[in-house]
C-alpha cells in the first residue's frame, strides 16, 4: 500500500499549500468536498518529481509535493506520479489564473476538477530579524501582490522601490536564504512563518481578496450531486462569426442554467479566435446541465467537460422552476406519449 501523493503549486508557504491543507481537512470531516480518489494505480515514489522546487512534506499518509509550475503539476498527475494536484484557478481581484485555465483546456489525456477550496488572501510585510519598518528602502514581491498593496505602500513606505519576484514565497525565501538587494518581502503569513521572517506589518492588502483553488485528477467517477454544485467546462464557438457568443450563451439560457464565471481564452490559432472557460451553477447529473453540455458539444465537439464538484461557498443552486428535474421528466413523458399514440 502506498500513501497518497498530491502535487501543488509551490514553493511551500504559498496560499496553495494552505488550500491543499483545507481540502484534506474537509475530506477528513466528510464535509462537502469531493473525495480525491486515492486508488489510482501503483505509483512509483522513487524520484522526487520536482527536486529543485522544494521538499516533499509528509503529513499522515499524504505526501505533499511542491512543483514549480501548474504545467508540471498536471504532467505529474497525467503520468501517475501523483494522485492529484492542487492549483489556484481564480482570484477575486486578479481574475482567472491563465496558466491553470489553459493547462486544463489543453491537457491530453483530460483532467477533471474534483474539489475546490477558497482561501482568503492576506499579505504581511516580512523581513529578517532586526529590520525596522523605517529602514525599509526596497521591497520585493510578485507584481500581483504589489498591485493589491499599493495604497498601504504609498501611505507607509512612500518612495520605496519595489522589486518584482517570481512569487511572493520566492521573495520571502530570498530573504531567508541569501542577502538579496531588498530589505523586505510582501508575502503570505504562511511564507513569513516558514522562512522565519519577522512581520513588520500585517494585513496590508488594500481590500479583501480570496483565491479559489481546485483539486484536479484523472477522470473517474463524477462525484454525486449535492444540490450545491459547480460544473466547469471549456466551450468553443461554432464559428468565428458575429453573434457566435450569443449563440453559445443561448445554450445555457434555453435550459435555465446560470453562469458563475466566464472567461475568454485564445485558442492559439490567431487573434480573435477564442474559447471560453466557464463555470456554471449545477451538476452534470441534473438534466438541465446535461442538456446544456450536449448543446455545447453539438456547437463544437471540442467542448471539454472539466468536472462537477461541490461549491466551496456552499451556495445552493438557483434553478428556475421550469428548469427543474421534474419539468424534464414531464416533458420527456409528454413527448413519449405523443409518439406512442
* Residues of this chain, 262-291, that bind its own copies according to CB under 8 A: 262-266, 268-274, 284-285, 290-291
Phi/psi of residue 33, nearest 5 degrees: -115, 130
- Name which position in 28, 61, 166, 203 contacts its own copies (CB under 8 A): 166
Of 28-36, 97-105, 171-179, 192-200: span binding its own copies (CB under 8 A): 97-105
Binding track, positions 37-76, relative to its own copies; x by CB under 8 A = ---------------x---------------xx-x-----
In whole angstroms, the minimum distance from the beta carbon of 238 to its own copies comes to: 6
Starting at the edge strand found earlier in the chain, the sheet holding 138-141 runs 161-164, 138-141, 184-187, 124-127, 198-201
The per-type count for the chain, helices as H runs and strands as E runs, is: 10, 16
Q: Which range touches its own copies (CB under 8 A), out of 11-19, 59-67, 125-133, 250-258?
A: 250-258
Tell me the C-alpha distance between 103 and 59, whole Å. Answer: 28
Residue 219 or 314: the one with the smaller Cβ distance to its own copies is 219
Pairing of strands 161-164, 95-96: unpaired
Cα(320)–Cα(209) distance, integer angstroms: 30
Nearer to its own copies (CB atom), residue 28 or residue 259:
259
| Calpha distance 293→296 (Å, rounded) | 5
Which residues from 196-215 bind its own copies, rule CB under 8 A?
207, 209-210, 212
- Return the number of the residue (189 or 327) whose C-beta is nearest its own copies: 327
Distance of closest approach, residue 180 Cβ to its own copies, in angstroms: 13
**Residue range at the interface with its own copies (CB under 8 A); choices 56-64, 79-87, 188-196, 218-226:** 218-226
Tell me the Ramachandran region of residue 77: left when phi exceeds 0, alpha when psi lies from -120 to 50, beta otherwise: alpha
Contact pattern for its own copies over residues 74 through 93, marking x by CB under 8 A = ----------------xxxx
In the complex, the smallest distance separating the C-beta of residue 28 from its own copies, rounded to whole angstroms, is 25
CB atoms within 10 A of CB 118: 16
Q: Nearer to its own copies by C-beta: 195 or 274? A: 274
Long-range contact set of residues 159-162: C-beta below 8 Å, sequence gap at least 24 = 160/136, 161/137, 162/138
Residue count (the chain): 341
Given 28, 44, 294, 316, the residue binding its own copies (CB under 8 A): 294
Nearer to its own copies, 95 or 227 (CB): 95
d(CA 144, CA 140): 12
Rule CB under 8 A: say whether 250 interacts with its own copies: yes
Using CB under 8 A as the binding rule, whether residue 164 contacts its own copies is answered as yes
Return all residues near 162 (Cβ < 8 A) that are at least 6 apart.
Answer: 138, 139, 140, 141, 146, 153
Which residues contact residue 47 at a Cβ distance below 8 angstroms, ignoring those fewer than 6 apart?
81
Q: What are the Cα distances from residue 186, in Å, to 37, 92, 138, 165, 194?
A: 36, 19, 11, 10, 14
**# residues near its own copies by CB under 8 A:** 87
For 55-167, where are the alpha helices, taking DSSP H only? 70-78, 98-106, 143-148, 150-156
Taking the complex as a whole, how short is the minimal distance between the CB of residue 25 and its own copies, in angstroms?
21
152 binds its own copies per the rule CB under 8 A: no
User: In the bound complex, what is the minimum distance in angstroms from residue 13's beta carbon to its own copies?
Assistant: 16
User: Of 23-31, 55-63, 77-85, 141-149, which part binds its own copies (CB under 8 A)?
Assistant: 141-149
Amino acid at each position: 500500500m502506498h500513501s497518497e501523493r498530491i502535487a501543488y503549486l509551490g514553493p511551500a508557504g504559498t496560499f496553495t499549500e494552505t488550500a491543499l491543507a483545507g481540502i484534506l481537512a474537509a475530506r477528513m470531516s466528510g464535509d462537502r468536498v469531493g473525495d480525491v480518489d486515492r486508488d489510482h494505480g501503483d505509483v512509483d515514489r522513487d524520484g522526487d518529481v520536482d527536486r529543485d522546487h522544494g521538499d516533499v512534506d509528509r503529513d499522515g499518509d499524504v505526501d505533499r509535493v511542491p512543483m514549480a509550475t501548474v504545467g508540471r503539476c498536471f504532467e505529474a498527475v497525467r503520468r501517475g506520479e501523483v494522485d492529484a494536484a492542487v492549483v489556484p484557478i481564480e482570484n477575486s481581484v486578479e481574475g482567472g489564473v491563465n496558466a491553470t485555465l489553459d493547462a486544463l483546456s489543453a491537457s491530453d489525456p483530460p483532467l477533471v476538477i474534483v474539489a475546490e477550496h477558497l482561501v482568503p488572501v492576506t499579505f504581511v510585510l516580512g523581513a529578517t530579524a532586526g529590520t525596522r519598518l523605517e529602514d525599509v528602502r526596497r521591497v520585493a514581491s510578485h507584481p500581483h501582490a504589489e498591485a493589491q498593496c499599493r495604497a498601504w505602500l504609498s501611505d507607509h513606505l512612500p518612495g520605496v522601490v519595489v522589486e518584482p519576484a517570481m512569487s511572493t514565497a520566492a521573495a520571502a525565501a530570498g530573504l531567508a536564504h541569501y542577502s538579496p538587494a531588498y530589505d523586505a518581502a510582501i508575502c503570505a503569513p504562511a511564507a513569513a512563518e516558514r522562512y522565519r521572517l519577522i512581520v513588520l506589518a500585517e494585513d496590508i492588502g488594500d481590500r479583501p481578496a480570496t483565491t479559489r483553488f481546485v483539486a484536479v485528477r484523472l477522470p473517474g467517477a463524477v462525484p454525486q450531486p449535492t444540490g450545491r454544485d459547480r460544473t466547469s467546462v471549456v466551450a468553443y464557438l461554432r464559428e468565428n462569426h458575429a453573434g457566435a457568443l450569443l449563440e453559445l450563451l443561448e445554450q445555457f439560457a434555453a435550459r435555465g442554467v446560470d453562469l458563475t464565471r466566464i472567461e475568454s481564452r485564445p485558442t492559439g490559432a490567431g487573434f480573435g479566435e477564442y474559447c471560453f472557460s466557464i463555470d456554471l451553477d449545477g451538476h452534470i447529473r441534473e438534466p438541465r446541465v446535461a442538456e446544456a453540455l450536449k448543446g455545447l458539444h453539438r456547437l463544437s465537439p471540442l467542448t471539454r467537460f472539466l468536472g462537477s464538484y461541490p461549491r466551496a461557498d456552499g451556495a445552493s443552486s438557483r434553478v428556475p422552476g421550469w428548469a427543474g428535474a421534474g419539468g424534464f421528466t414531464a416533458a420527456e413523458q409528454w413527448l413519449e406519449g405523443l409518439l406512442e399514440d
